[in-house]
C-alpha cells in the first residue's frame, strides 16, 4: 500500500466526495442523482451491517471507491459470498493498478472476516484492473468469480 493512501470503510462525511467520483465522465457518464436521494440511499448503505462503501483516500481526498455486499446463502452450508461492484478510480489517479490492488486486498480480507468462500465481481468500469489485481492477490478464478484461498 502507498504511504499516503488510506483504504478504509466510508463514513457519513464521505458522501460528497463519493458523489463527485460517481458523477465523473469515466463512471456514470456524468449523470448525477439528486443530493436528497443520494443522502437517503447512502444512509441506508451505512446502516446495513452487510453493505460497505470502501474508499481509497489521499491528502487530496477520495480517489477511488468500491462497493462490497456480504450475501448470506442457503447453499454451501450457509456460507457467505462477497459481492463487489461499482469500482471507480479517479481519472487523475496515476497509480490505478496499485490502488485497485490495494482496494481488492482490503475487500478480500474483509470478506474473509465475514466467512465468505468466494468473491463475485459485477462492475461496469475497470474490467482489466479487477482481473489482473484479483490474480495478483492469489484469488483463484471460478465461474464468474474468484474463490478465496483456503
Rounded Cα–Cα distance for residues 80 and 69 (Å): 10
Predicted confidence at residue 28, as pLDDT, reads 63
**Phi, psi at 17, each rounded to 5°:** -70, -35
Is it the case that residue 21 has pLDDT exceeding 90? Answer: no
Question: What confidence tens digit (pLDDT) does each residue in 88-121 have?
Answer: 888 877 677 788 888 888 998 999 999 988 888 7
pLDDT of residue 144: 53
State the average pLDDT over residues 49-60: 93
User: Which H/E stretch holds residue 71?
Assistant: strand 61-72
Tell me: pLDDT of 82 over 80.
Answer: yes
Mean pLDDT on 42-53: 94
Determine the pLDDT at residue 60: 85
76 Rama class: left (phi>0) / alpha (psi -120 to 50) / beta: left
The pLDDT, as a whole number, for residue 93 is: 76
149 is written with which cell numbers?
484461498
Structure-model confidence comparison of residues 55 and 89, the more confident one: 55
The chain-wide mean pLDDT, for the chain, equals 80
Is residue 136 over pLDDT 70? Answer: no
Give the Cα separation of 101 and 84 in Å (integer). 14
Instruction: Supply the pLDDT for residue 22.
Output: 84
Q: Exposure of 11 by Cβ count < 10 A (0-12 exposed, 13-18 middle, 19+ buried)?
A: exposed
Cβ partners under 8 Å of residue 36, min gap 6: none
Predicted pLDDT at 141: 59
Smallest CA-to-CA distance from 57 within 7, 107, 15 is with 7
Delineate the domains of the chain, giving CATH numbers in brackets.
6-138 (3.40.630.30)
Find the mean pLDDT for residues 30-38: 73
Q: Is residue 128 over pLDDT 90?
A: no
Long-range CB contacts (within 8 A, 24+) of 23-31:
24/88, 24/90, 24/91, 25/91, 26/88, 26/91, 26/125, 27/88, 27/125
Please give the pLDDT value at position 57.
94
Q: What is the mean pLDDT of residues 34-50?
A: 88
- How far apart are the C-alpha atoms of 79 and 32, rounded to whole Å? 36
Amino acid at each position: 500500500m502507498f504511504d499516503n493512501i488510506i483504504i478504509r470503510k466510508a463514513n457519513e462525511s464521505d458522501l460528497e466526495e463519493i458523489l463527485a467520483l460517481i458523477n465523473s465522465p469515466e463512471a456514470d457518464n456524468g449523470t448525477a442523482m439528486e443530493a436528497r436521494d443520494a443522502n437517503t440511499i447512502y444512509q441506508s448503505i451505512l446502516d446495513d451491517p452487510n453493505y460497505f462503501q470502501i474508499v481509497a483516500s489521499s491528502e487530496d481526498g477520495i480517489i477511488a471507491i468500491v462497493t462490497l455486499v456480504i450475501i448470506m446463502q442457503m447453499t454451501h452450508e450457509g456460507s457467505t459470498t462477497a459481492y463487489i461492484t461499482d469500482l471507480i478510480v479517479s481519472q487523475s489517479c496515476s497509480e490505478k493498478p496499485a490502488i485497485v490492488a490495494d482496494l481488492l486486498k482490503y475487500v478480500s480480507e474483509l470478506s474473509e472476516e465475514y466467512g465468505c468462500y468466494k468473491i463475485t465481481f459485477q462492475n461496469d468500469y475497470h474490467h482489466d484492473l479487477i482481473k489482473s489485481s484479483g490474480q495478483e492477490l492469489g484469488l483463484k478464478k471460478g465461474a464468474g468469480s474468484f474463490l478465496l484461498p483456503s
